[in-house]
């Protein structure tokens, strides 16, 4: 089998993910491996795509090898996929598989993003190996990797692949500006509108309409006009120093122009099942901020040009981000059949959140995500010093072994339950004991009423 490896890691040959591919290459000598280091050399491919055409044509199977970066793939790989579509590379009849490494924080959304794009490119998608970055160092991880490659070969030999599921998207309708600017605006609070809008009249009109009717001060930050020197290189310099090695003013933009605002609206057009490479660069470069949830409580909202109903994976990314960041979500405005109404709802809900200072709630996306970060930062505290201090200060190190009282209580209850005569009585008591603290809170409301 002739395999073309699309190495999406900006670290090129130093990629941890790539080591598993090199492991396959050694183990399965009858497979031929060719490489395109698109993560590291994206600028080269931006100028000249001929090597890509040449290598794709010869391949039987395309293997995407990449690290998970901020819920998805590195911005460089997003750009490469965009370029494949723009240049009309012919992948028809070829198979695809993917391997990612990460700490399993939203690896599922990254993997689905690649799978969805394989569907767009007409590739016969086989499956994914989503490994922890340390997996290959253990016998178990080596076994999993080997089994995965055996499975890929089996599927290839037997022409077996997954059904491509593509949800029908409603067409985007031209959106004309329709609201007049309201006069009574307050500058008590400022909302940053972050966009990558470029030659996109629909999105521009949506943003203009939101700005016109929103009762608070707004500040539009257009990433398309910002001179990014490059995407995140995964070099980890920022982990130790807190500063990015790119000196293009991004940190200043992020901290002083965006994060200093009271809320953020993101405005974008759906591209390749994502927010597009520019927004992805913006997200990846936030690694200079480490894993610190510095905008807790600041509401977020979205103006989306495109049908989010056809993009459940992207919705999960947006919902996951707000839950991990503890940002109340004002609204996802996107319904292409009803966009003016959507913008009004977003404006009203965002104003309500800002006025009332509504606190965010967490769900599985946020609780699960933060537990992964908690364990990671604790182990890496020597390198990620700023993150460690932040986690200590904010009480994020909520390891369950600290709950000594509860552990002892449960042992006692568990012991009682094994005593035949006491079990029935203990069960009854347990039910009452469990609701007691809640009852106290509710009863205290009566007291307040009497006061």
Token look-up 């203990």 returns 426
Which tokens hold the place of 175?
């959106």
If one asks whether residue 269 binds ligand FMN (CB under 6 A), the answer comes out as: no
Residues 6+ apart with CB under 8 A from 86: none
102 vs 313 by CB, closer to ligand FMN? 102
63 vs 354 by CB, closer to ligand FMN? 63
For 441, how many CA atoms within 13 A lie in the half-sphere containing its CB?
Answer: 4
CA–CA dist 96, 327 (Å, integer): 37
38 vs 68 by CB, closer to ligand FMN? 68
If one asks whether residue 302 binds ligand FMN (CB under 6 A), the answer comes out as: no
Interface segment toward ligand FMN; rule CB under 6 A; list 22-30, 69-77, 215-223, 359-367: 69-77
Interface segment toward ligand FMN; rule CB under 6 A; list 62-70, 143-151, 181-189, 407-415: 62-70
If one asks whether residue 17 binds ligand FMN (CB under 6 A), the answer comes out as: yes
CA–CA dist 260, 280 (Å, integer): 21
- Of residues 105 through 164, those in contact with ligand FMN by CB under 6 A are 105-107, 133
Interface segment toward ligand FMN; rule CB under 6 A; list 67-75, 87-95, 181-189, 202-210: 67-75
Q: Is 218 helix (H, G, I), strand (E, B) or coil?
A: strand
- Number of residues forming the site for ligand FMN (CB under 6 A): 23
Q: Are 238 and 273 in contact (CB under 8 A)?
A: no
15 vs 323 by CB, closer to ligand FMN? 15
Q: Work out which of 1, 12, 16, 386 binds ligand FMN, going by CB under 6 A.
A: 16
Strand order in the sheet with 32-36: 32-36, 2-7, 61-67, 95-102, 124-132
- Of residues 220 through 259, those in contact with ligand FMN by CB under 6 A are 232, 234
If one asks whether residue 11 binds ligand FMN (CB under 6 A), the answer comes out as: yes
Interface segment toward ligand FMN; rule CB under 6 A; list 68-76, 150-158, 165-173, 434-442: 68-76
Minimum separation from the CB atom of position 241 to ligand FMN (A)? 14
Minimum separation from the CB atom of position 164 to ligand FMN (A)? 25
Q: Which is nearest to 230 in space by CA: 422, 74, 124, 344?
A: 74
Number of H helices, E strands in the chain: 16, 10
Q: Work out which of 33, 41, 89, 104 binds ligand FMN, going by CB under 6 A.
A: 104
What values do phi and psi take at 230, rounded to 5? 170, 175
Minimum separation from the CB atom of position 391 to ligand FMN (A)? 17
Q: Which is nearest to 114 in space by CA: 128, 103, 101, 132?
A: 128
What values do phi and psi take at 341, rounded to 5? -65, -40
What values do phi and psi take at 226, rounded to 5? -90, 135
Minimum separation from the CB atom of position 51 to ligand FMN (A)? 21
The gap from C-alpha 443 to its chain's centroid, in whole angstroms, comes to: 42
If one asks whether residue 101 binds ligand FMN (CB under 6 A), the answer comes out as: yes
What values do phi and psi take at 267, rounded to 5? -125, 120
If one asks whether residue 102 binds ligand FMN (CB under 6 A), the answer comes out as: yes
For 304, how many CA atoms within 13 A lie in the half-sphere containing its CB?
Answer: 25
Q: Is 130 helix (H, G, I), strand (E, B) or coil?
A: strand
Q: Work out which of 69, 125, 148, 246 binds ligand FMN, going by CB under 6 A.
A: 69
If one asks whether residue 70 binds ligand FMN (CB under 6 A), the answer comes out as: yes
Q: Which positions lie near ligand FMN, rule CB under 6 A?
A: 9, 11, 15-18, 67-71, 101-107, 133, 232, 234, 284, 287
């Amino acid at each position: 089998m002739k395999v073309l490896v699309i190495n999406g890691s900006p670290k090129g040959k130093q990629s941890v993910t790539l080591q598993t591919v090199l492991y396959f290459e050694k183990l399965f000598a009858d497979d031929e491996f060719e490489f395109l280091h698109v993560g590291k050399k994206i600028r080269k491919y931006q100028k000249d795509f001929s090597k890509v055409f040449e290598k794709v044509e010869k391949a039987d199977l395309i293997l995407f090898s990449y690290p998970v970066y901020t819920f998805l793939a590195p911005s460089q790989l997003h750009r490469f996929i965009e370029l494949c579509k723009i240049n009309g590379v012919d992948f028809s009849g070829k198979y695809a598989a993917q391997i990612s490494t990460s700490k399993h924080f939203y690896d599922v959304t990254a993997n689905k993003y690649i799978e969805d794009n394989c569907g767009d490119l007409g590739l016969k998608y086989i499956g994914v190996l989503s490994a922890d970055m340390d997996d290959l160092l253990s016998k178990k991880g080596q076994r999993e990797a080997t089994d995965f490659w055996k499975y890929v070969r089996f599927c290839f030999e037997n022409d077996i692949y997954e059904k491509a599921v593509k949800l029908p998207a409603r067409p985007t309708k031209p959106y004309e500006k329709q609201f007049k600017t309201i006069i009574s605006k307050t500058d008590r609070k400022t909302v940053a509108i972050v966009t990558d809008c470029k030659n996109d009249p629909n999105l521009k009109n949506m943003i203009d309409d939101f700005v016109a009717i929103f009762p608070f001060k707004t500040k539009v930050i257009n990433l398309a006009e910002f001179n990014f020197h490059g995407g995140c290189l995964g070099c980890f310099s920022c982990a130790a120093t807190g500063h990015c090695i790119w000196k293009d003013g991004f940190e200043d933009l992020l901290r002083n122009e965006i994060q200093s605002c009271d809320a953020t609206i993101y405005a974008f057009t759906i591209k390749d099942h994502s927010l597009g490479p520019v927004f992805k660069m913006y997200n990846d470069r936030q690694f200079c901020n480490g894993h610190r949830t510095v905008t807790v409580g600041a509401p977020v909202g979205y103006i989306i040009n495109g049908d989010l109903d056809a993009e459940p994976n992207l919705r999960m990314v947006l919902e996951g981000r707000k839950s991990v960041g503890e940002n109340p979500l004002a609204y996802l405005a996107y319904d292409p059949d009803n966009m003016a109404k959507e913008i009004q709802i977003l404006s009203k809900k965002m104003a309500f959140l800002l006025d009332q200072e509504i606190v965010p709630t967490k769900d599985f996306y946020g609780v699960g995500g933060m537990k992964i970060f908690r364990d990671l930062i604790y182990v890496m505290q020597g390198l990620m010093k700023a993150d460690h201090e932040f986690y200590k200060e904010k009480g994020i190190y909520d390891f369950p072994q600290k709950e000594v009282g509860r552990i002892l209580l449960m042992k006692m209850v568990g012991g009682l339950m094994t005593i035949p005569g006491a079990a029935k009585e203990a069960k009854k008591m347990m039910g009452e004991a469990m609701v007691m603290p809640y009852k106290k809170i509710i009863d205290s409301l009566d007291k307040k009423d009497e006061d």
